Chain A
């Protein structure tokens, strides 16, 4: 009897652990018919998940703004580089075990390849048809919609380098050699490959080669460079994201300027076909291109709607004005070849 009780206790314990661990997996959800029905179904789903390479502060602003507008839907965001996120999106699509509902990226090559791979569904929200959004210039095959854009600029730590940087050439000064300049590693991130190719022409002859010669310190993302600047780990960078302005607003000793010929890149988003919350996904996609959504996601970036406060970086640009990279030049093989070349120059 005692042994039976013990066996039952062991089995019960294992069962409880299994229940605690949770096997996950959701019921197959479907997109409702009209927009009102979608809104209702989204509230019932009660949850939406976005993966993005945009700065964590912007995703937090988006969460607050979205949950204010749709209090019954909880937004979860996951911030990472394309190298972190793209494999996850692919695995979720392959396994059918979707976690993300919306995915935001700047990778032109991946966007192009995904159109043949049925990663996305068409967006149906009413805000995409607003005149200010300019649907024809903003949406690719009714699936990928332009959401925001950024330009990379010159940034420095004002305590370490009070004189600052006037143009990209200043970042190559000899006193900054040996690890005082920060650069991004293009491994797995085609957008950075595109950036290195462009600045090699626009910032001055053989700029990338000369940049490699001063032995800069290498970081995984532009966001990490912003933090390293704020801490004084590096003194300057010719490829800072405008998010460093958020650090400046928080009191960090940093400054940011846009050079004469900046490199810019738009973020495109799509609703994933493996989305476990297809209705909430459509609601979030729609919200992203509303003025409230833009004020959050494009804060200190370039908005895809006109006249959004806190966006634009002091220019009249809209995200639609910033061209997406050439997909042919950003194929997997081309990116890998550049990556090898870059590693030889910067880490060799």
Chain B
């Protein structure tokens, strides 16, 4: 008896050390993957007496670039906050019969951003833009030979960016909206308040936390905007920090130091937001929200709400897709449309064009590979954070590291990966691995957080029962935890796949000339001015994403997008 106690304690110690070693190695690997590229990039900016900063911040137009970056972020944030809040309110008032419209405000996240942006260009280019051509038929604009709208102007780039950010604000605000009990609204209404009064005096104040959080995320996304300014802004010389980073990596020789310097303000803001979010969340966890039996989320039957949501869907989704579709069926992009001219030639040419079909397979393969690696890594991190509270330091580091990619624009990771993986010890340039690795980094926050939420709701009892029955942590993970997490894992897989198949910003940095994904090939053809081919490719991208959504709904259930 005297001998068995120390032996048993030794066994427990060994197990603890093994788990410490495993999680320690995991955090080191994640640190190398996520932090190292950003760290190397930023230290480079300081080398040679901060030559990178001198080069980037000594440019005559740097003031204008900074002003445009901040202006674009704030103005598009305002649009997104207003639209996102109104949409969240409208979807909470949807009649039951058209409840399916709830999905509409989320769909712009699913639609490939490059397809959306080129769609707007086809509609609102001052010359041959279809909507412009229609507007020029109106009596007060019939004297114009171009315009009246210029999609390449900063105003319209802001509006299009604002539309894109609306979905993100909507996600946060609608989640907050669902927590508002109908009692509050009914009380306000029975006290004589109008619909508008209820919205401004009751709903908005109750939504303040969601608005602050969603606004913070949308501001970060706005500061890191890349696709709109790159594709539309070049015609009139619009520059933001992310496009400056891209330009510095398109110089000969590549000026990594200046690109790093351009990234610095975004890195600082991103890290500050991630850390403050963690701090705020830590506080929030102490509060119980609602949980009483009497809670009833607000419902409604406002057909105006249905009309508003439908209108948003038409403008943000249908119109740009329509623009892309028409150009893809035309022999060349022109304001003069005719049924006789419609042709499928562009699709035939697209299939024949070198690199296009390869890019589809590269997108799918790299996305699947990244997802396949993200799920177990995300599960390990989620387990570390949720179930290993005794490893205080390691779990805090893991939590912050895996949140970092949410705070930094993808383009920063792209440049960091280009720098890191074109040098020893791991030269991966030109292989699919560099794309897979950057995709893993971009998706780690989703993989970790979605499984973390499921783990928290699962509780400890099952895994404790498994451990008491003698199963090792690995066996418990494989036979107990994973099967119970299946719905959350499937949702995460589906979402990550959809988001990755149309990833553009990071891919543009790390792709090589012959290892390309769909978005980067589309951009190359856009730069070459092959508009009809671009349109056909945008439809192809949207189709691949739509197929992803359908598979996601089949395996993850109809409400898979709600998990966003």
Contacts and interface: CB of A to CB of B under 8 A. Distances in A.
Interface string B312-325: 00000000000000
Given A17-B368, A56-B530, A218-B234, A76 B430 contact: no
A70 interface: no
B513 A7 contact: no
Interface stretch (B93-101, B124-132, B169-177, B399-407): B124-132
Contacts of B433: 21, 23-24
Interface string A92-114: 10111101100000010010000
A227 B529 contact: yes
Given A51-B513, A94-B422, A343 B127 contact: no
B512 interface: yes
Interface stretch (B69-77, B108-116, B369-377): B369-377
Contacts of A340: 59-60
A297 interface: no
Nearest to A190: B252
A21 B422 contact: no
B15 interface: no
B528 A221 contact: yes
A221 B528 CA distance: 7
B521 to A, nearest CB: 11
Nearest to A23: B431
Contact of A99 (B333, B354, B430): B430
Contacts of A82: 252
Interface residues of B, number: 60
B431 A332 contact: no
A25 B478 CA distance: 35
A206 B181 CA distance: 70
Interface string B300-337: 00000000000000000000000000000001111100
B128 A231 contact: yes
Find the residue from B249, B365, B478, B515 having the highest chain A CB count within 10 A.
B478
Given A10-B376, A23-B431, A231 B475 contact: no
Given A21-B365, A76-B354, A95-B427, A179 B373 contact: no
Given A231-B127, A233-B125, A346-B237, A84 B250 contact: yes
Nearest to B479: A3
Nearest to B376: A10
B125 A90 contact: no
A225 interface: yes
B331 A251 contact: yes
Contacts of A90: 252-254
Contacts of B236: 217-218, 347
A217 B529 CA distance: 14
Nearest to B436: A21
Contacts of A25: 431
A348 interface: yes
Contacts of A32: none
A321 B122 CA distance: 41
Contact of A6 (B125, B335, B479, B512): B479
A162 interface: no
Nearest to B330: A231
Given A110-B252, A218-B236, A221-B528, A85 B369 contact: no
A78 interface: yes
B252 A22 contact: no
B277 interface: no
A43 interface: no
Interface in B234-266: 234-237, 247, 249-254
B529 A225 contact: yes
A49 interface: yes
A252 interface: yes
B128 A218 contact: no
A87 B254 contact: yes
Contacts of B237: 218, 343, 346-347
B56 to A, nearest CB: 12
A102 to B, nearest CB: 12
A115 interface: no
Interface in A105-158: 107, 110
A233 B373 contact: no
Nearest to B152: A217
Interface in A141-195: 160, 179-180, 185, 187-188
B484 to A, nearest CB: 14
A80 B521 CA distance: 11
Contacts of B474: 3, 7
A246 interface: no
Interface string B163-196: 0000000000000000000000000000000000
B475 A3 contact: yes
Interface in A223-238: 223-228, 230-234
Contact of B334 (A14, A91, A231): A231
Contacts of B530: 56, 227
Given A56-B530, A225-B529, A78 B514 contact: yes
Contacts of A160: 145
B366 interface: yes
B422 A179 contact: no
Interface of A: 2-3, 6-7, 10, 13-14, 17-18, 20-25, 49, 51, 56, 63, 76-88, 90-92, 94-97, 99-100, 107, 110, 160, 179-180, 185, 187-188, 217-221, 223-228, 230-234, 250-252, 332, 340, 343-344, 346-348
7 closest Cβ pairs, A-B complex: A347-B237, A227-B529, A224-B529, A24-B431, A86-B252, A233-B127, A78-B513
8 contacts: A56-B530, A95-B430, A97-B429, A99-B430, A110-B252, A179-B150, A231-B127, A340-B59
Given A10-B376, A233-B127, 8 more contacts: A22-B431, A24-B430, A76-B355, A80-B527, A83-B252, A84-B250, A220-B527, A221-B528
